């Protein structure tokens, strides 16, 4: 029922609506012509998404000793046989120009001591130094620079404190055609849903790692864009490939703090609660094994012992050495009462990156006309079964610029969006049972972690499928009867995306890349992408 003194519903119209304000969304916005009216909506502050948290850098061929072909081959190898070579080539070939655009935009990348050349680092899987970075906070440099550029553009309106509820399509409006014409968006300040109509809509909402109990991602990574696009009729692919970081600080107040792999590289050892080492039982390289092997070993031992966490210990090194090499980790842990020069660090693996997503092409187009997807929410074919380090920000830049170029080419031919009704709140009421949301949230993230995590079995996946179906039913009933809130929207989307992850994992009868199942430990001879098709899917008209 309507409440007394409720404000009138707000309605907006733009040429381009961009949902998400990370590197992906802001790259699109800043590459659009200035005569287009652009709106960027963001859940929290404009520069608060996953881009801000990125510690590493951006992979691109910037050195004369490197080559496009080498970067392509490194990516294909890392992707476990599932990368699309055309997407890899497209991304790598447009890498340097994307970096040049960032430099022209004002991003201050780290230079060599001579100040003439940019300092390039090398990360796992790369055969050359090709990671351009801004100290150890590249994401922050990119995010804050692009946000300030967007704020200075008179044609770009930035709206924070907004969470998208659902995309609006012709089908939902009972109109002919297969077109996206905007979105309903919840204003978190007054808790009312606003109508945003647009000729073009871009999903740049990031990944879905919040589906898991432990994640390195910010709170907003709840798979909103993937879930909305699925409901709107978009296919998704390879949702079973979730990348986990092996060592995240385990503390109730740590909030997703990573313990860099460099700690193991400098002699840190992983230990069980009784103080014994275990990595040598899983790989001859022990603590220096690749990330996915270490994550699986930790997960195995935690499940075997029923332990909440294991430990990473570098206290056997001199205290001055530890403080000099890891000052940030030392200070952060000390704030939680852990002196890493004397004590082992409690760690757990954590969900880190969603390699699958909404199927898109080289122009970032989806299965629905005038709907684009850029960044972690997208499936471009670049990452395959295992994302290679520092290719993710590159993907945001290359496909963000491609989306902007395609919109620019088409904008003269796309008419204004049709009229659409305001969000109807007349038949719903305020929830007096928010405990249902919090309980379902906890249940979902726990069973996703236990049953659909780093190591899987068919039985575990079937149990998860049974539970996610029950949650779907409960949450849909709740959604139909109560006024929407940020927690309810995110929970609804997380249940949808979790279901997609489970269904994808059940379809893959092999272990490849980030998908490891005890029931099918080997590789299939001819593997292919896992493609899921919604009931609302329509083939695009020419």
Per the model's pLDDT, the better-predicted residue between 111 and 81 turns out to be 81
Residue 2's pLDDT is what? 44
Residue 259's pLDDT is what? 85
Q: Nearest to residue 156, comparing CAs of 20, 28, 24, 39?
A: 39
Rg (CA), the chain: 23
SS3 at position 403: helix
**pLDDT, tens digit (0-9, with 9 covering 90-100), for 281-325:** 998 888 888 777 888 899 899 989 999 999 999 999 999 989 887
Q: Nearest to residue 488, comparing CAs of 444, 424, 422?
A: 444
Does the pLDDT value for residue 144 go beyond 90?
A: no
Burial of 522 from C-beta contacts in 10 A (0-12 / 13-18 / 19+) = exposed
Does the pLDDT value for residue 222 go beyond 50?
A: yes
Does the pLDDT value for residue 364 go beyond 60?
A: yes
SS3 at position 516: coil
Does the pLDDT value for residue 234 go beyond 90?
A: yes
> Whole-angstrom Cα distance, residue 185 to residue 166?
7
Q: What is the mean pLDDT of residues 471-484?
A: 89
> Whole-angstrom Cα distance, residue 479 to residue 437?
10
Confidence of residue 542 (pLDDT cuts 50, 70, 90): very low
Q: Whole-prediction pTM value? A: 0.90
Does the pLDDT value for residue 50 go beyond 70?
A: no
Pair type for strands 236-237 and 531-532: antiparallel
Q: Where do the domains of the chain lie, and which CATH numbers do they carry?
A: 11-240+355-411 (3.50.50.60), 248-351 (3.90.700.10), 433-521 (1.20.58.100)
Percent of the chain predicted with pLDDT > 90: 68
**pLDDT, tens digit (0-9, with 9 covering 90-100), for 508-527:** 999 999 999 999 999 998 88
**pLDDT, tens digit (0-9, with 9 covering 90-100), for 25-45:** 999 999 999 999 999 999 987
Residues with a catalytic annotation lie at 291
Q: What is the mean pLDDT of the chain?
A: 90
Asked if 230 contacts 526 with a C-beta cutoff of 8 angstroms, the reply is no
> Whole-angstrom Cα distance, residue 89 to residue 76?
10
Long-range contacts of 271-279 (CB under 8 A, 24+ apart): 271/310, 271/311, 271/312, 271/313, 271/344, 272/301, 272/305, 272/307, 272/310, 272/311, 273/305, 273/307, 273/310, 273/311
Does the pLDDT value for residue 253 go beyond 90?
A: no
Asked if 485 contacts 431 with a C-beta cutoff of 8 angstroms, the reply is yes
Does the pLDDT value for residue 225 go beyond 80?
A: yes
Q: What is the mean pLDDT of residues 427-454?
A: 86
Residue 293's pLDDT is what? 83
Residue 48's pLDDT is what? 56
Per the model's pLDDT, the better-predicted residue between 477 and 34 turns out to be 34
Lowest-confidence range among 21-35, 46-60, 72-86, 369-383?
A: 46-60
Residue 137's pLDDT is what? 61
Does the pLDDT value for residue 51 go beyond 90?
A: no
CA neighbours closer than 13 Å in the CB half-sphere of residue 180: 32
Confidence of residue 47 (pLDDT cuts 50, 70, 90): low
């Amino acid at each position: 029922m309507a409440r007394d003194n409720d404000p009138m519903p707000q309605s907006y119209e733009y040429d381009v609506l961009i949902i998400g304000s990370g590197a992906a969304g802001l790259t699109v916005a800043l590459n659009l012509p200035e005569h287009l009216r652009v709106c960027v909506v963001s859940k929290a502050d404009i520069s608060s998404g996953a881009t801000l948290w990125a510690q590493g850098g951006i992979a691109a061929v910037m050195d004369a000793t490197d080559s496009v072909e080498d970067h392509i081959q490194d990516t294909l190898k890392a992707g476990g046989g599932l990368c699309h070579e055309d997407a890899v080539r497209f991304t790598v070939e447009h890498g340097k120009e994307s970096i040049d655009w960032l430099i022209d935009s004002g991003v201050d990348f780290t230079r060599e001591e001579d100040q003439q050349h940019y300092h390039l680092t090398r990360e796992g899987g790369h055969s050359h130094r090709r990671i351009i970075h801004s100290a150890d906070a590249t994401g922050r440099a990119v995010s804050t620079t692009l946000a300030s550029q967007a704020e200075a553009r008179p044609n770009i309106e930035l709206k924070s404190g907004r969470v998208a509820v659902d995309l609006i399509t012709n089908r939902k409006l009972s109109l002919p055609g297969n077109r996206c014409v905007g979105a309903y968006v919840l204003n978190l300040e007054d808790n009312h849903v606003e109508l945003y109509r647009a000729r073009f809509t871009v999903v740049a909402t990031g990944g879905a790692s919040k589906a898991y109990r432990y994640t390195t991602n910010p709170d907003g990574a709840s798979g909103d864009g993937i879930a909305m696009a699925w409901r709107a009729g978009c296919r998704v692919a390879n949702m079973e490939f979730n990348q986990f970081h092996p060592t995240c600080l385990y503390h109730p107040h740590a909030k997703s703090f990573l313990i860099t792999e460099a700690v193991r590289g400098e002699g840190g050892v992983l230990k069980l609660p009784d103080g014994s080492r275990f990595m040598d039982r899983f790989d001859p390289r022990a603590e220096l094994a690749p990330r996915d092997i270490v994550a699986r070993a930790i997960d195995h031992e935690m499940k075997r012992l029923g332990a909440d966490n294991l430990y990473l210990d570098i206290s056997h090194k001199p205290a001055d050495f530890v403080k000099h090499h890891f000052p940030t980790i030392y200070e952060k842990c000390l704030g939680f009462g852990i002196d890493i020069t004397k004590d082992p660090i409690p760690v757990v693996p954590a969900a880190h990156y969603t390699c699958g997503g909404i199927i898109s092409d080289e122009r970032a187009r989806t299965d629905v006309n005038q709907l684009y997807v850029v960044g972690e929410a997208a499936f471009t074919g670049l990452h395959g079964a295992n994302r290679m380090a520092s290719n993710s920000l590159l993907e945001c830049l290359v496909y963000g610029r491609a989306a902007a170029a395609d919109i620019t080419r088409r904008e003269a031919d796309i008419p204004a969006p049709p009229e659409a009704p305001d969000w109807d709140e007349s038949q719903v009421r305020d929830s007096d049972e928010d405990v249902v949301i919090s309980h379902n949230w906890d249940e979902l993230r726990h069973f996703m972690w236990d049953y659909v995590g780093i190591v899987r079995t068919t039985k575990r996946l079937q149990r998860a499928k049974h539970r996610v179906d029950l949650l779907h039913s409960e949450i849909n009933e709740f959604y139909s009867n109560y006024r929407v809130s940020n927690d309810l929207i995110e929970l609804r989307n997380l249940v949808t995306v979790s279901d997609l992850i489970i269904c994808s994992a059940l379809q893959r009868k092999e272990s490849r890349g980030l998908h490891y199942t005890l029931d099918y430990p080997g590789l299939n001879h001819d593997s292919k992408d896992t493609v899921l098709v919604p009931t609302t899917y329509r083939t695009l008209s020419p």
